[in-house]
Structure 1
């Protein structure tokens, strides 16, 4: 079977594609028939034999390693060869996605209304993808076609994400992008029969969600919210916010609260650092008072402090700092991070 797949895959794949897909169908059906045969053999064993020890021994043989190995081998063959189809289809899919680079997403109200009438991207992409997948959908079994769509959805999501991260948007352009992405996800969901592919687009949906925010500080309503799991890092979120040309640059690179909020946060942070990590609330005195503690407790306290500092620095990410600065300058940055975080 493996040799036959290699022969049909090599050379001009388009000419041998139908044979290749039929072999994949046979692989899937064979696995199904093995399961069915095992169930029937177990049923016959229970019916024909009376001695329970004999029944248990025969069932153990039926469920033994031989059938497991055969099914695992066929599953591996099936998935590996579906991956080969994904590699083949990824090139034309990339070509279908490429036109998004020519679309302007910094648009006016008039442009947005034009896009309402003449879809700039999603409709052409969906039509092209439908035509591309038609020969596969017409031959492949439902469960195999679902696996193919799942793998292709991962590729589509990652490719779209790469292109979006290179473009600029204003608010209306972000709304248009949101509509485009929603249409694509809905289409891929509709052509799968057994499994939903929406989870493949979680990162992409979060990117679009960030781009459609009214202002930078709206992110605070979701960041750290219980039950909302971010797939993007804090740095990625800032870089995505930077794609909005109508957001003030300092607001997303060096985000600051209003003066009263910042003053309150500084006081609260200083108080917390002082209480947890030292009387002066700075790195130099953070470990004072640990003398006499057991090594285990001392290690836990130091780990707590280091974890806190790393978290604060990450949340305060400032590109203007150079990693080659002197140790004294680094201590100043660390001290400022503790005071300015949150």
Structure 2
């Protein structure tokens, strides 16, 4: 398509044929490149390589004139000045009722056109500059002058104007689509998150990719900054909104029975946070990789890096909010487990052989506790991301272990009682290990070490496990706590414990 045809099309009000500026600019660049390539040898023979450079400069003047005209006509045709001004006033009048901004779907068409035009310009400039640099016997002063003409000519200036419009349009497109994703957020069948999580990050990813494709560092920084502020603002607020559930306990267990619908809503809100935190890091990683390719200069990379650091911070803030939500959920569940734990206080560990044998058949409390955990915790497993469920289980374990430690420290033990505690702890470790992908042994290590101490034949045996003799075991109990645990054994003499050198 020639420029004259373009202008003609633009002047016909009811013409349905779209004016194709990309084709027009492509043709111009093709003509210039062909003119150089086809006359390369003639120029070289007549004037040496300097002649080629002069010819390129002459043709670049043509590009500056015609190319910038094409871009100007494009801006006029798409009414970019009017459009961006509308967007700016729409943004400042957002609070006024019924304010309607431009249609984001239309904006996307313009964005793709701008991208194609700027990419064409970049590719053409890169080709011509590398052509100049590949010439080896040129007047040394001529090359820098010629390459500068590409970067400071009229075409380059108009390209920058278009880029200015691009940033405003892309920012608007991104905000509107993120808002829409939040507005139409819904549960997705067979998905652990609601629709807005994937939708929002898809929008951000697309916009950032497009910005990087412009090869303009300022555009990238502007779009990236918008993306980060959207994540930290409206999107973060939408995520938090779903987690603000007053009277959670009453809604999660109605009449003592778990409520699937509430469970799903709470789990999904937590999943949204978890996946958003992960997606923010993924987005960061992807942008970093693409920018490393598009912007090789250290200064540009530094600018991108500081923006990307904010994506890291966003990921951390989602995690922080997730942890708060998780603690609220745990605080709702643990009171339902606590009565079983409290009943452990009444269980005796001063066992005879007959009692120890009976406990093997009739478990005094561990199975009841595990049943309470299954009833109140495990039902949420299919509703949660693996990461969230693991965190949830571990927080519940923390609660159980802390309570058990306090209870056990108030008991008296026979040696068989120590053996019983060891058996109880092993059962707990085994069960919880099957509930979570993360290791749970370290959570129970203090209880395990208490059981080890309470199992000893005599007080001095502790020295076989202490200090240099501890082997691979890291003691989680302090020397004072070790003495205290030894003191729980009914048959260990206080003076023997006091005499220990720990």
Q: TM-score, normalised by structure 1?
A: 0.67
SS at match of 1:201: helix
Residues 1:39 and 1:224: Cα distance change in structure 2 (over 3 Å): closer
**Contact 2:271 / 2:388 at 8 angstroms: preserved in 1?**
yes
1:202 corresponding residue in structure 2: 445
Corresponding position of 1:233: 478
Q: 1:3 aligns with which of 230, 238, 241?
A: 241
Computing the radius of gyration from Cα coordinates, the structure with the larger value is 2
* DSSP-derived class of the 2:370 partner: helix
- Check conservation: 2:336, 2:372, Cα contact below 8 A: no
Report how far residue 8 of structure 1 moved: 5.5
SS for the counterpart of 2:383 is coil
Indicate conservation of the 8 Å contact 1:8/1:19, yes or no: no
Contact persistence 1:211–1:244 (CA under 8 A): yes
Task: List aligned pairs for 1:235-254, cutoff 5 A.
Answer: 235-252=480-497, 254=498
The unaligned stretches of length 5 or more in structure 1 are 257-314, 316-341
Q: Is the 8 A contact 2:330 2:396 kept in 1?
A: yes
Q: Which structure is higher in RCO with an 8 Å CA cutoff and minimum separation 6?
A: 1
What runs of 5+ residues in structure 2 fail to find an aligned partner? 1-238, 253-258
Q: Residue 93 of structure 1 is aligned with which of 309, 316, 337?
A: 337
Deviating above 6 A after TM superposition, structure 1's stretches of 4 or more consecutive aligned residues are: none
Residue of structure 2 aligned with 1:69, choices 313, 318, 321: 313
Aligned length: 254
**Alignment partner for residue 104 of structure 1, among 345, 348, 366?**
348
Alignment of 1:1-342 (within 5 A): 1-7=239-245, 10=248, 12-14=250-252, 16-46=262-292, 49=294, 52=297, 56=301, 59-60=304-305, 63-65=308-310, 67-193=311-437, 195-225=438-468, 227=471, 228-252=473-497, 254-255=498-499
- Residues 116 and 12 of structure 1: CA distance in aligned 2, closer, same or farther (over 3 Å): closer
**CA separation of 1:7/1:89 partners in 2, compared to 1, >3 Å: closer, same or farther?**
closer
SS of the counterpart of 1:181?
Answer: helix
How many Å apart are 1:38 and its aligned residue? Answer: 2.6
Question: For the residues of structure 1 that align with 2:361 and 2:264, how far apart are their CA atoms?
Answer: 39
What are the superposed Cα offsets for residues 280-299 of structure 1, whole Å, 9 maximum, x if unpaired? xxxxxxxxxxxxxxxxxxxx
C-alpha contact 2:356 2:417 (8 A) present in aligned 1? yes
| Greater fraction helix | 2
Kindly state the Cα deviation for residue 243 of structure 1 after the two structures are TM-superposed: 1.3
**Contact 1:174–1:208 (CA under 8 A) maintained in structure 2:** yes
Do the aligned partners of residues 246 and 2 (structure 1) sit closer, same or farther apart at CA in structure 2, a change above 3 Å counting? same
Is the CA contact 2:295–2:301 (under 8 Å) kept in the aligned structure 1? no
Note the alpha carbon deviations across 1:115-143, whole angstroms, 9 max, x for none: 22222222222122111112321211100
Alignment partners' CA distance in 1, 2:401 and 2:295: 57
Given that 1:42 and 1:62 are in contact with CA atoms closer than 8 Å, whether structure 2 keeps it comes out as: no
**What residue in structure 1 maps to residue 59 of structure 2?**
none
